[in-house]
Amino acid sequence: MSSWSATRYKTRNWPSYNTALKQRGSLSIWFDPEMSWHALPTGKRGRQPEFSDAAIQICLTMKVLFGMPLRQTTGFVESLLRLAGLDWKVPDFSTLCRRQKTLNVAIPYRGGSGPLHLLIDATGIKAEGEGEWSARKHGGSKKRLWRKLHLGMDEETLEIRAVGVTTSNIGDAPMLPDLLDQIPPDQEIATVTADGAYDTRRCHNVIAARGAAAVIPPRKNAQLWKPTTVGAIARNEAVRACKYLGRALWRKLTGYHRRSRAETKMNCVKLLGQGLMARDFDRQVAELQVRIAVLNRYTALGIPITEPVG
């Protein structure tokens, strides 16, 4: 009997993908002379905002891309506008700090050609505190804090369609309904793929309510649920399949391996910084959302197209 060997893949669009990778380093993709830099009147009493949300988001995007403090970000954007021949005024560091707390970050996406195959995953990102080496050597006088990032990614386009940020004491499963709510109701969802942490009644029920199939491995020694809901019936079928076919074959038949793409996207998020520079929760949420917007912009430039070899 021959031993099993992993499937080999080859990238078929290296010329276009190489061009897309080069464009990721171009600063021209972030500035549009036709954009609304100054805010429109709100019609409310009091001082009107001078800069639009798009202007604030661009400045914060430069901050995230290059890991700069707010004052350096202001100088950097000023120089870019000067080189582009634009006489726009740049918000100062205090304005950026204040607006970041309430910023409505626009996360662009293109959308796929058919029903959405959503990949769900979550990871922790360090918010503040001393590093591991300092904690080992000196005992870590300051408590290290973490924020949990929950993502829903489109398998076809590799774009992030849903994002949630919570404290570290919030589990993965409770955030799934919120992630699905971020998908427009008229968007058809074919499958929702997640790990065993989402094997709960509520998760299966909300997935079934959207007319999607749940690709979630049952927990070990999982028992059948009472078939009172559509989600419970679908989950019972997965339990029976894992029992009679084996978990390895079930994963292959359902395409559960696709979830690894979400884990890869999590690594991309951390490449923009292993920790968060913001100190309060609302600004940390905006910082992570800006990272997601950057990654979706990168993805829109081009992604590799791979096919199995042989």
What is the domain partition of the chain in residue ranges?
8-104, 116-130+144-271
Q: Does position 3 have pLDDT exceeding 70, yes or no?
A: no
Q: What is the pLDDT of residue 221?
A: 85
Separation between Cα atoms, residue 67 and residue 73, nearest integer Å? 9
Please give the C-alpha separations between residue 164 and each of 45, 92, 172, 262, in angstroms, as whole numbers. Answer: 33, 29, 10, 14
Separation between Cα atoms, residue 245 and residue 129, nearest integer Å? 47
Separation between Cα atoms, residue 51 and residue 37, nearest integer Å? 6
Class of domain 116-130+144-271: alpha beta
User: With pLDDT > 90 as the criterion, what percentage of the chain qualifies?
Assistant: 67
Give 202's contacts (C-beta < 8 A, 6+ positions apart).
Answer: 173, 174, 176, 177
**Among the ranges given (86-90, 120-124, 200-204, 211-215), the one the predictor scored with the smallest mean pLDDT:** 86-90
Cα-Cα-Cα-Cα dihedral of 277, 281, 284, 290, to 10°? Answer: -160
Q: Does position 138 have pLDDT exceeding 80, yes or no?
A: no
- The pTM score is 0.90
Separation between Cα atoms, residue 165 and residue 180, nearest integer Å? 14
According to DSSP, the residues that pair with 108 across neighbouring strands are: none
The predicted-structure confidence for 195-212, as pLDDT tens digits, reads as follows: 999 999 999 999 999 999
pLDDT mean over 301-305: 89
